[in-house]
Amino acid sequence: MRVDAITVKDLKIVYRSLQSRSIKKNFLRAKKSERGNFVAVKGISFSIKEGEIVGIIGKNGSGKSTLLRALANIFSPDEGSIDIHDHTISLMAIGVGFQPSLTGRENILLSGMLLGFDEKEIRSKMTEIIEFSELGDFIDVPVKNYSSGMHSKLAFSITSILETDIMLVDEVLSVGDARFKQKSEEKMRNLIGDKHRTVVIVSHSISTLSKLCDKVIWMHEGEIKMYGDTQEVLYEYLEFMGADEK
């Protein structure tokens, strides 16, 4: 019997809209300010078993990426809790975790240390990460000069080579050239082959989620509209969105 890798209970995340005002004015207008807050995730609960591959789908603004960043401990819950049961966790996402002024090589070291690896471990995998990324001489260029596809390649390479117990993937597989996308999907399948690794993928790609995921969470306006078998959830999602499955 598989144990939980991720347990989320009554999770609520609020984006607060703060205007530049004095403390006195902020206090006097507190109730009015509250109306400017946006509740991105509205008290959701779910669990993911160790070794499961779970997709998250939903239209833009539904709270998918916010949820993923909360799982990665980038955002703190305003209410509720997230328990990853002492597993190591990593997030693949465009523009997350990189320091723009540092080179790709320097960001590999930084990202690896943030994931909990020591410098010796990271350096032992450095050549493999660089070769997989296909960045060539750009590995020694500041990442602020990278295209979105180059960001994607570096992010995927770091997280897929420096393997953690739980991998969170935010749209990375849908960015980049066709050949790298295919290579990434093949690498992801190999990683998924480890029955103890848990993967959560946010994507708009029906084909990607259909091929890779055991289950799918459908988020809508900050809530979970459906969570279950991949094909059943994707069918209902496409029906709801008025689209034909491609």
User: How high is the pLDDT of residue 18?
Assistant: 54
38: which 2 tokens? 């946006």
The whole-model pTM stands at: 0.79
The dihedral sign for the CA sequence 65, 67, 72, 75:
positive
* Residue 76 half-sphere exposure toward CB, CA atoms < 13 A: 1
C-beta separation of 209 from 217 below 8 A: no
Domain boundaries defined on the chain: 49-69+86-241
User: How high is the pLDDT of residue 152?
Assistant: 83
* Per-residue pLDDT tens digits for 218-237: 999 999 999 999 999 999 99
Chain centre to alpha carbon of residue 181: 17
Q: Return the number of other C-beta atoms located less than 10 Å from residue 2's C-beta.
A: 12
Q: How long, in residues, is the chain?
A: 246
Secondary structure E strands in the chain: 4-15, 38-49, 53-57, 79-83, 89-93, 166-170, 198-202, 215-220, 223-229
* Per-residue pLDDT tens digits for 190-206: 887 778 899 999 999 89
User: How high is the pLDDT of residue 114?
Assistant: 84
Q: How far apart are CA 206 and CA 246, in angstroms?
A: 8
CATH number of the structural domain 49-69+86-241: 3.40.50.300
Of 73, 5, 8, give the one whose Cα is nearest residue 45. Answer: 8
Residues in the chain predicted with pLDDT less than 70, given as ranges, are: 17-35, 94-96, 172-176, 243-246
